[in-house]
Amino acid sequence: MPATVLIVEDEPAILDLVAVNLEHAGFETLRAKSAEEAGRLLGDILPDLVLLDWMLPGQSGLALARRLRGDARTREMPLIFLTARADEPDKIAGLEAGADDYITKPFSTKELVARIRSVLRRRKPQHGDAPIEIAGLRLDPAAHRVTGSGQALAFGPTEFRLLHYLMTHPNRVYSRTQLLDEVWGDHVFIEERTVDVHIRRLRQGLAPSGHDVLIETVRGSGYALRP
C-alpha cells in the first residue's frame, strides 16, 4: 500500500517539483498551498506523513504543526519541515513543535525521498516490507503472502492491509474510525460498518490455521490483535 504524503507549500514550482518526485518514488500525494487549506483537508483525510513548509501566507507551518500535535487525531502523524530557514533557533523550534525531521531548502529530491522513507520506517511500519511473525502467523509484505503455521492463507487486498496494520500494532485497541483513517486513509466517506465486514472476512481467511482467535472484538471500542 503506497504511503500518502500531504505537501503543504505555497510556492507552486516547489510544490510541483516535490509532488512529481514523490509520485515517481511510489508515494501518493495530496497538495495544500496554505496551512488553512491543509487544516480543512486533514479534517477529511489522514495522510501517512505531512511535509510542511515553514513560511506560508496566513498561518505559519510552525503554528499548524503545533495545532496538529495538540489534536488527538493528528498527534501521532509523522511531520517533516521543509524550509529555507537554516538558523539553529528555527530548527530547534521546529523539532520542539514535534517535527520528526527538518529539511533545508535548497534540497536534493533524492535526500528528501530517503528522509521520508526513514521517518515512515520508524513511525509507520505497516508501509514497510519487512516480514512479520506473531504466534505462528507470518505476513510477508514484499511477496504479498500470509501463512498460518506454515499453511498458505488467502486474503483480498483490504484484508491484507488490515492484517498488516494490526500485526504491526498488536495489543492496541483501534476504533472503527481509527482503522478507517489508518487502513483506508479516510473516515468520512466510508461507513464504519465497512470495517466490520472486512474484519469478518479477515477472520474467515485466518480460520483454516486457527489464527482467527487473534482478532479480538472489544465491545463498544473496536478491534485488537492479541497474541
For the bound state, the minimum distance from the C-beta of residue 79 to Ca ion, rounded and expressed in Å, comes to 16
Among 16, 40, 55, 156, indicate the residue that binds Ca ion (CB under 5 A): 55
Tell me if residue 161 falls in helix, strand or coil: helix
- Residue with nearest beta carbon to Ca ion: 55
10 vs 28 by CB, closer to Ca ion: 10
Q: Is 53 in the site for Ca ion (CB under 5 A)?
A: yes
Of 1, 10, 31, 91, the residue at the interface with Ca ion (CB under 5 A) is 10
In the bound state with Ca ion, the residue whose beta carbon lies nearer, of 51 and 167, is: 51
Q: Output 53 or 182, the one with its CB closest to Ca ion.
A: 53
Length of the chain: 227
User: Which listed range, 47-55, 117-125, 182-190, 195-203, lies at the site for Ca ion (CB under 5 A)?
Assistant: 47-55
Strands (E), the chain: 4-8, 28-32, 49-53, 79-83, 101-104, 132-134, 137-140, 145-148, 151-153, 215-218, 222-225
**Per rule CB under 5 A, count of chain residues that contact Ca ion:** 3
Q: How far is the C-alpha of 65 from the C-alpha of 62, rounded, in Å?
A: 5
Q: Grid coordinates standing for 105?
A: 531548502
Task: Verify binding: residue 48, Ca ion, rule CB under 5 A.
Answer: no
d(CA 34, CA 56): 6
| Contact residues for Ca ion, defined by CB under 5 A | 10, 53, 55
